[in-house]
Amino acid sequence: MTITIYGIKSCDTMKKAFAKLDSLNIEYVFHDYKKEGIDKQSVQRWVDSLGIDKVLNKRGTTWRKLSDEQKQAADADVNKAIELLIANSSMIKRPIVEGSYRDEPIILCGFDEAALNEIFS
C-alpha cells in the first residue's frame, strides 16, 4: 500500500506536510478533497481509528459557519458528525496521512513533524 495524504492543496499545514514528506524522500499520493471529495468509508475508518475529536476540526471557519443546530447534532451523534465531514471536507483536520510503511500501518491526523520523523526516518 502506498502513502496517501488527504487534504486541500492550498492549506498552509498541507504545504508543511508535503515539504516534510518530500524532505524524507517519501513517495505519496495526494487526495484533494476539493477536487475528489471524500467517501464515507474513509471518514468512518479515520473516526474509528483516531476518534471524532481528533478528525473533526472545530477551530476552522467552516465549523463556525454551521448553525447551532448542526453543531449540537454533530456533538450528540458521531454519525451526524461524519455526515457533516463528508459534506464539508474542510472540517476534516489536515493532513490525514494513511497507508503503510515497511509493512506497518500508518494513520496520522494533523501535522506532527516529530511523528513523521519517527515513522519515516
The H-assigned helical ranges of 31-77 are: 33-36, 40-50, 52-55, 61-65, 68-76
Q: Check if the beta carbon of residue 16 is closer than 8 Å to that of residue 111.
A: yes
Q: Check if the beta carbon of residue 7 is closer than 8 Å to that of residue 110.
A: no
Q: Which among 5, 6, 8, 11 is annotated as catalytic? A: 11
- Helix, strand, or coil (residue 6): strand
Active site residue 11: yes
Catalytic residue numbers?
A: 11
